[in-house]
């Protein structure tokens, strides 16, 4: 009865069955059939020229001005490099994403009847739809006792979500003395680099799988039960150029994501997987790094959740950032490059060695005239350790400062930088002093 209701409701609302059937049709297709499908999805002239097209970046997508009709879906990147990337897609794109997730769950053993807990970035949007397909959506930013109680009571087949959020849930259930519940649950990890989290979590769970993707498009590659990341070739094209993963979206006709540089790294090979899928395999994936801490020195385990407000609240004023947490000093140190083009009111921020001087924007000219005098009065200070930049009034980040203190017990310290290097895939969150 419930499954019939789902079919009716889906046809009236999301229409994901259409996309599920589309994916099922090609799930065990030959590599030649998959390549031919990709060719049909690209205009013949574009396919001919495809390998000669210029690579694109986030800045290219930001500059692009799509023609909007009013029914598009809107997508925001995490803002891990600063200002979140806002892209638009056709109305059906979210339904296609949902079907890609569902296929990934089925590929690791979900029968469509057992419960799945899906951790979402914000309040659930499809609650009735998800209930009808036995998916329980919960906001990963508000993890509390009710999450643990639901898992213990319902014993879901699979939990899908960000690695740090799942680790926090794992810690909560273990502290309740119900570690036994976890051994029959499968995990599907998303978001940040999952390698370190996988090693930890597989001690407690039946199995741990993960997907590789970007907020800008559907999941790029999904792990099968044999552990291989199969590229979802029905929805995208993946290339590896000089070690960097480059992707093309086959469905977004609103914001063209073509030969898009991900700043993640990996390798690509043809499939010989035992699962029977001929989709190319992405392997040795290296993505953004985020440390995790669960110990007595903070009020709550530390992970991605403590970083997310940087893009959600302050993305317009931030160009790039990274965070270092020093547990011994109880410091949350935010290194930030300010997006000065979006700053209209602020303070002149001057770093003289370890000393910080601030003055209002109106005093900039006066301060510059006094700078030589300041340098001459302090012989230790030289031009090489003086940094000057305009930043928004620090009071505008009072909410974040107070929130970090309340949630973790840490003190926020802001350090202005001219540039932040991403060489070697730097860690966005580095935790030291444990």
How confident is the model at residue 356, as a pLDDT? 47
254 shares its domain with 316: no
340 and 273 belong to one structural domain: no
Find, among 189, 194, 134, the residue nearest to 161 by Cα: 189
Report the domain count for the chain.
2
Between the ranges 111-120, 188-197, 332-341, 343-352, where is the mean pLDDT highest? 111-120
**Which residue among 239, 255, 287 closes a domain?**
287
Mean pLDDT of 311-321: 73
Split at pLDDT 50, 70, 90, the class of 420 is: confident
Digit-coded pLDDT (tens) for 73-111: 877 665 555 456 778 888 888 899 999 999 999 999 999
Are 68 and 88 in contact by the 8 Å Cβ rule? The answer is: yes
Q: How far is CA 56 from CA 191, 258, 321, in A?
A: 22, 7, 22
Residues 263, 330, single domain; the answer is no
Q: Which tops the pLDDT comparison, 421 or 425?
A: 421
334: pLDDT strictly greater than 70: yes
Same domain for 194 and 216, yes or no, is yes
CB 156 within 8 A of CB 117: yes
Clarify whether residues 166 and 251 are in a common domain: yes
Closest CA to 160 of 130, 120, 107: 120
- Pick the last residue of a domain from 287, 304, 330: 287
19 and 123 housed in the same domain: yes
Taking the model in full, what pTM does it have? 0.76
pLDDT in tens, 146-200: 999 999 999 999 999 988 899 999 999 999 999 999 999 999 998 767 777 888 8
> Is 382 or 137 the better-scoring residue by pLDDT?
137
Give me the pLDDT at residue 310, please: 78
Q: Quote the pLDDT of residue 296.
A: 87
Q: Which tokens go with 199?
A: 């090693």
- Residue bearing the bigger pLDDT, 387 or 122: 122
Whether residue 312 sits in one domain with residue 251? no
Judge whether residue 329 has pLDDT over 70.
yes
Report the side by side order of strands in the sheet with 260-269: 135-139, 116-120, 158-162, 186-190, 207-212, 221-223, 229-231, 281-286, 260-269, 244-249, 236-241
The CATH number covering residue 180 comes to 3.40.50.12780
When pLDDT is cut at 50, 70 and 90, the band that residue 214 belongs to is confident
Residue 434 banded pLDDT, cuts 50, 70, 90: confident
Does position 326 have pLDDT exceeding 90, yes or no? yes
- Residue 363 confidence class, pLDDT cut points 50, 70, 90: low
Could you tell me if 300 and 169 lie in one domain? no
Question: For residue 302, which of 310, 293, 315 has the smallest C-alpha distance?
Answer: 293
What's the mean per-residue pLDDT of the chain? Answer: 83
Element (H, E) at 6: helix 2-12
What is the per-residue pLDDT across 27-80, written as a single tens digit (0 to 9) for each?
999 999 999 898 888 766 665 677 777 888 878 887 888 888 888 887 766 555
**Last residue of some domain: 287, 302, 320?**
287
- 257 and 373 together in one domain: no
Residues 301, 240 share a domain: no
Confidence of residue 255 (pLDDT cuts 50, 70, 90): confident
Quickly state the pLDDT bin for 353 (edges 50, 70, 90): very low
pLDDT value at residue 19: 93
**Domain extent at residue 390:** 290-432
Q: Find the distance separating the first CA and the last CA of the chain, reported in whole Å.
A: 53
Of 151-155, 261-265, 422-426, give the lowest mean pLDDT range: 422-426
More confident site: 225 or 378: 225
Are residues 65 and 81 located together in one domain of the fold?
Answer: yes
Do the strands 331-338 and 346-352 form a parallel or antiparallel pair, or are they unpaired?
A: unpaired
Q: Which residue has the higher pLDDT, 311 or 99?
A: 99
pLDDT tens digits, 146-157: 999 999 999 999
Q: Decide if pLDDT at 328 tops 80.
A: yes
Are 299 and 171 within one domain?
Answer: no
Q: For residue 11, give the H/E element and its range.
A: helix 2-12
Q: Range with the lowest mean pLDDT among 89-103, 192-206, 324-338, 389-403?
A: 389-403
């Amino acid at each position: 009865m419930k499954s019939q209701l789902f079919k009716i409701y889906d046809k009236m609302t999301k229409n994901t069955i259409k996309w599920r059937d589309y994916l099922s049709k090609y799930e065990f297709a030959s590599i030649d059939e998959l390549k031919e499908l990709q060719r049909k999805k690209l205009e013949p002239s574009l396919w001919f020229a495809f390998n000669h097209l210029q690579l694109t970046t986030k800045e290219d997508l930001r500059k692009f001005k799509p023609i909007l009709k009013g029914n598009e879906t809107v997508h925001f990147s995490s803002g891990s490099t600063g200002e979140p990337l806002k892209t638009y897609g056709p109305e059906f794109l979210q339904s296609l994403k949902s079907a890609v997730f569902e296929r990934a769950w089925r590929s690791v053993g979900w029968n469509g009847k057992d419960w799945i807990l899906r951790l979402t970035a914000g309040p659930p949007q499809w609650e009735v739809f998800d209930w009808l397909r036995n998916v329980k959506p919960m906001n990963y930013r508000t993890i509390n006792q009710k999450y643990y109680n639901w898992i213990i009571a319902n014993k879901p087949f699979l939990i899908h979500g960000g690695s740090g959020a799942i680790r926090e849930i794992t810690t909560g259930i273990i502290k309740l003395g119900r570690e036994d519940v976890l051994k029959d649950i499968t995990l599907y990890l998303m978001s940040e680099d999952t390698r370190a989290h996988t090693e930890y979590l597989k001690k407690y769970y039946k199995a741990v799988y993960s997907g590789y993707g970007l907020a800008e498009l559907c999941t790029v590659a999904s792990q099968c039960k044999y552990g291989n990341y199969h590229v979802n070739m029905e929805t995208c094209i993946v290339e590896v150029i000089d070690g960097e993963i480059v992707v093309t979206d086959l469905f977004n006709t609103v914001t063209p994501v073509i030969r898009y540089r991900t700043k993640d790294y990996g390798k690509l090979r043809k499939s010989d997987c035992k699962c029977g899928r001929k989709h190319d395999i992405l392997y040795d994936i290296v993505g953004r790094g985020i440390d995790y801490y669960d110990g007595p020195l903070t009020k709550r385990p530390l992970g991605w959740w403590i970083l997310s407000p940087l893009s959600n609240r302050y993305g317009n004023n931030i160009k790039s950032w990274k965070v270092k947490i020093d547990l011994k000093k109880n410091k949350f140190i935010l290194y930030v490059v300010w997006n000065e083009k979006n700053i209209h009111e602020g303070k002149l921020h001057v770093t003289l060695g370890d000393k910080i001087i601030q003055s209002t924007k109106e005093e900039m000219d006066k301060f510059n005239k006094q700078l030589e005098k300041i340098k001459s009065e302090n012989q230790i200070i030289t031009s090489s350790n003086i940094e000057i930049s305009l930043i928004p009034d620090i009071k505008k980040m009072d909410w974040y400062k107070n929130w970090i203190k309340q949630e973790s017990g840490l003190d926020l310290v802001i350090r202005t930088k001219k540039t932040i290097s991403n060489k070697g895939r730097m860690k966005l969150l580095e935790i030291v002093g444990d």
